Chain A
């Protein structure tokens, strides 16, 4: 318990100290190593991975699929404060990420969002195309967005029930922002934006200071739209420049998020995909999927994420997302085919009647 408390305090101090986005802190790697070492001893499934370690210089990474088959937590279920679940997959089994407390999650999410989305102290009107937390308590995205409402929101409107987009509420909110020239931030999944686009009649000219945060991709469901086409679609519908269309990358198995926005990373343009900013308390590695070893910079591989805020599960996570490093940013290239399809965007599309 003392070790956990000590690590928790180190992590919290690190996140707070880097709330300005500053990088190049050697403490990051040391903290990650210490977390992994502690988790090795306290999570048997993770300890077993160490016996097969093929990644020299780094602790082994836990594949995201493990969360679908095993409990990945340092504590017992009786201590769960919250359990986030992945969206349903084609195989049916959901991954579960259990939290004993959400302080580090909140600290990380708030610091990153402050840097990447809400750099001003002034609160902003929000339109949420995500089901409210009360209706989807197991969704980490709904939880995160509900915190954004608390931390950054002024006048906020939820326009998404678990099984339907309230496009009238969304349209009313958009028209009001346009009419009153009140900057508006729209946060939602890619599929929700597509459904809103299909439901709306005519375009909206959002005032300066407005932006979109989109998350999730298209996993071969209903419509599949490339990131650059999405920029064009959203820009035309909402009157926004590409730099005002931000991308958020997160997953149930993580506590932290990556962003590409006007303020951090490079948002997608009409020709180029987004390049994600990585918060200072997160380490990313592009690995060769055949060997699990790091790839040279500029080489496509599979994204590994070491997230300091993942104290009570496993900090070192192996995704199935294809990516390439561009200097200190990450460019996502899509999900590796053959990997289990996933994503909150998928669940929302199902709810809205998208095809399986």
Chain B
């Protein structure tokens, strides 16, 4: 078990990170990119000592199966390709308008539900040349520490700029030490965590909020012509559902099938069921926490009572009518709903989620998705993607409607 941070060690981490600001800021971009590329290659390697240790530790801490861990690492690191990093770096070096000054210290509060979620904000911090102390969740701090260890191997002269401190949430004194000295505070977690911590951030700092969220899938009218297309679409849906065992803030909890397709929700459901069965073989689900099992029992029972439930070994598909949508408990339980064509009913379903709607996976081509995104009311800024890629966001896109350097560059 990793040693938890104390007030003393946390202050040392803050001071150490700050002391590395200058070397980080003076490092040429190409050299920084080279270091990051090596770090990501190291973490992505199944045979390097760092990669092997990482995978072993992640099996202990994440609750995911080894196959899912491998998929997550592979897809996340692929999204952070050298080309993607170069594109990202150009944005950081030349942000829109004004002068830029890196924040003096970034407090990065991480959650534990999606272990790869730390990669992007860490990379953004480094590209913004901001010394960072990541407060890792005591439930899973494996990847942040692995990242730090890898930077020490591949970029020792800037490694001090990234520090990781592990302690449980609710340790007010430790949180205050970190928050009070940061100029940028990123918070990933439940809304309650967001509210509690934001209230204690000094007015001189910028809060970059990433509260709890969910995804929804949409099959617009006319995009699914008939049964021949259903298996491929179902595979895409199943991958989005199965990824991270549906625990992430981009994970879809409902699939909306607009009328005007070749299949309706009832007809599509068996295809999604079969696709989840295939996923269960390639990417088995991890263990089911007891409290989730209780919620799953309730959710599936409601589905049985008011609609259709197709129940598999470690997954289930429901087809229900009605508003509001019923959120699933995750862990590969997904509801399919029929929807009227057009935007009115779609907006009626999605608007209540507000900023919690983080991802909208849309079948069909990109133009369809973009058009739907443009039609959403203000305040709804989900990431629009195709089905099958809801959980693999690009690194250089907007992040909840904001540029990746938001708050990090002043």
Contacts and interface: CB of A to CB of B under 8 A. Distances in A.
B291 A337 contact: yes
A7 interface: no
Given A70-B306, A339-B291, A289 B296 contact: yes
The 10 tightest CB contacts between A and B, nearest first, are A63-B301, A336-B294, A289-B293, A337-B291, A45-B305, A338-B295, A65-B298, A289-B294, A63-B298, A290-B293
A70 B305 contact: yes
Interface string B294-328: 11111101101110010100000000001000100
9 contacts: A45-B305, A49-B305, A52-B309, A65-B302, A289-B297, A290-B296, A320-B295, A339-B291, A339-B298
B138 to A, nearest CB: 17
Interface in B242-291: 288, 290-291
Interface SS majority for chain A: loop
A297 B147 CA distance: 46
Interface residues of B, number: 21
B329 interface: yes
Nearest to A54: B311
A64 interface: yes
A56 to B, nearest CB: 16
Interface string A333-354: 0001111100000000000000
Interface residues of A, number: 29
B12 interface: no
B162 to A, nearest CB: 33
Contacts of A322: 290, 294
Contacts of B302: 63, 65-66, 69-70
B301 A318 contact: yes
B237 to A, nearest CB: 22
Contact of B301 (A65, A290, A300): A65
A49 B301 contact: yes
Contacts of A231: none
A331 to B, nearest CB: 16
A320 B294 contact: yes
B292 interface: yes
Contacts of A70: 302, 305-306
A292 interface: yes
Given A64-B298, A338-B329, 13 more contacts: A49-B304, A51-B304, A61-B301, A65-B298, A65-B302, A69-B322, A289-B296, A320-B298, A336-B293, A336-B295, A338-B295, A339-B295, A340-B298
A152 interface: no
Given A290-B293, A336-B291, A318 B298 contact: yes
A86 to B, nearest CB: 13
A65 B301 CA distance: 8
A281 interface: no
Contacts of B294: 289, 302, 320, 322, 336, 338-339
A336 B298 CA distance: 11
Specify which of B299, B301, B329 lies most central, judged by the most chain A CB atoms within 10 Å of its CB: B301
A206 interface: no
B291 A52 contact: no
A302 B293 CA distance: 9
Contact of A66 (B290, B292, B305, B329): B305
Interface string A63-76: 11110011000000
Interface string A310-329: 00000000101010000000
A61 B305 CA distance: 11
